Amino acid sequence: MSHIAEKTFNDDKLKWLEGHDSIERLIKQYNEDLGSDFVCAYFIILNPDHEKYEEQLTLLECECGVCSILNGETIHAGFIVPEGEVCRVFLMPKEMDEAELKKIMPDIIFDFHRIK
């Protein structure tokens, strides 16, 4: 993977973390609000135009218990020109390495950055 996701995340961290100054505070808030125990987080740039987008995203969220936080903005990281891409912060209830993440969503990830 490239460093595009890391740069995109770091360029506007407060926006992606919903105003929280750290991923730990965001995770704490979501754990309290949802009664969850999120321990790991990624920032992922996704391909919303792929035919398996909904299927693979749903698998991650429903089967793995992951919470995805959609900012609602399209970004322009250069993967889909001129339409743009979708970014989300994903909170995981268990440690998940990059290989496992790619196995669950092999077709829709452009780039990702592990936040925690």
The per-residue pLDDT for range 46-79, each reduced to its tens digit, is 999 999 999 999 999 999 999 999 876 777 777 8
Please give the tally of structural domains in the chain. 1
Q: What is the pLDDT of residue 78?
A: 79
CA–CA distance, 40 with 111 (Å, rounded to integer): 17
Task: Supply the pTM of this predicted model.
Answer: 0.91
Residue 11: pLDDT over 80: yes
Task: Report the CATH number at residue 40.
Answer: 3.40.1310
Residue ranges of alpha helices (H) inside 4-114 are 4-11, 13-16, 23-34, 53-58, 64, 98-104
pLDDT band of 1, cuts 50, 70, 90: low
The per-residue pLDDT for range 72-91, each reduced to its tens digit, is 677 777 788 778 889 999 99
Range of the domain at 18: 4-114
